[in-house]
Structure 1
Amino acid sequence: MTARTTYLDPAVRGALVALGAAAKKGLGEPGLAELVMIRASQINACAFCLDMHVGIAVDTYGESARRLALLDAWQEAGDVFSERERAALALTEAVTVLTDGFVPDEVYERAARHFTEAELAHLIGAIAVINSWNRLMVSRRIEPEGPAW
């Protein structure tokens, strides 16, 4: 597959980088943010973002191969993921796949039981920014750069 274009306006890139950093900082758990980034990227089939965020999860946060392998099946993975992580992953899926309709109340309320109002706002920001990155990379056919990890 050949990239359609590698150009990305620096202002757009800068805005997304700033939003991502703010969302992760306010979430308080950067490792959790990486799980969210990976799960949304799996749903959106963004190889570039998957490669990047798996590398960050492993290298920076010591994420295990087992948890990463089970992330796509988190609902069936028993206690591999905490309740807080499961709530974040459920919200990630609901916000990412809006073609199923609005984010269900029960999914939002589940997340709200595990996150403060500010953390929830940052979590939704993190989900929004990775979905934006996924769409930018997939639409331009940007391939992974190769494992830096």
Structure 2
Amino acid sequence: MNRTRVLGPAVGAALSALSAAAERGLGDPALAELVMIRSSQINHCAFCLDMPLGAARRGGESEDRIQLLNAWEEAEDRFGERERAALALTEAVTVLTEGFVPDVVYERAAKHFDEAELAHLIALITAINSWNRVMVSRRVPPGGYQP
């Protein structure tokens, strides 16, 4: 399934462009996949898990880390500090129902990402959350992703 068809051509193209720009600007494809997987886990978006899981595996990500991503805080030895900072920020931005992103989470991320990287990381988290919400709302099943 082409994701842009679910949104309509103009909106789908815009959201795809945002996603691509954020990923390029972050400059770390492996980290981008981890962020997209984690957000999609939180939002229960099976369709959106399909794409980054496949890309992470093709990129050489270990099954061990993929399987432990849902419990990354307890798997300290499997994820570096930069990854942990990005995952904490991903969770804080994804679950805004509890208020703003805590200062400590933002400051932790700012220690590991320069200003441009941090902007792209937040854009990536925002983009995947948008995809998650659309695909879950439209009840798009997993298995049909086409790049």
Q: How far is 1:146 from its partner? A: 5.7
Give the aligned partner of residue 135 of structure 1.
Answer: 133
CA distance in 2, matches of 1:147, 1:48: 7
CA contact (8 A) 2:6 2:12 kept: no
* Residues 71-110 of structure 1 mapped to structure 2, 5 A cutoff: 71-110=69-108
> What is the identity, as a one-letter code, of the residue corresponding to 1:130?
I
Give the aligned partner of residue 39 of structure 1.
Answer: 38
In the superposition, the TM-score normalised over structure 2's length comes to 0.93
> What is the identity, as a one-letter code, of the residue corresponding to 1:119?
E
CA RMSD, Structure 1 to Structure 2 (Å) = 1.4
* Residues 1-149 of structure 1 mapped to structure 2, 5 A cutoff: 7-59=6-58, 61-145=59-143
CA distance in 1, matches of 2:96, 2:145: 31
Deviations 1:103-137 (A, max 9, x none): 00000000000000000000000000000000000
Q: How far is 1:79 from its partner? A: 1.6
CA distance in 1, matches of 2:31, 2:6: 30
The percentage of counterpart residues that share the same residue type is 70
CA distance in 1, matches of 2:36, 2:92: 14
With over 3 angstroms needed to count, the CA separation of the structure-2 counterparts of 1:18 and 1:87, relative to structure 1, is same
CA contact (8 A) 2:92 2:101 kept: yes
> What is the identity, as a one-letter code, of the residue corresponding to 2:23?
K
With over 3 angstroms needed to count, the CA separation of the structure-2 counterparts of 1:119 and 1:41, relative to structure 1, is same
Equivalent residues, number: 142
Q: How far is 1:51 from its partner? A: 1.3
Name the SS for the 2:7 alignment partner: coil
Name the SS for the 1:63 alignment partner: coil
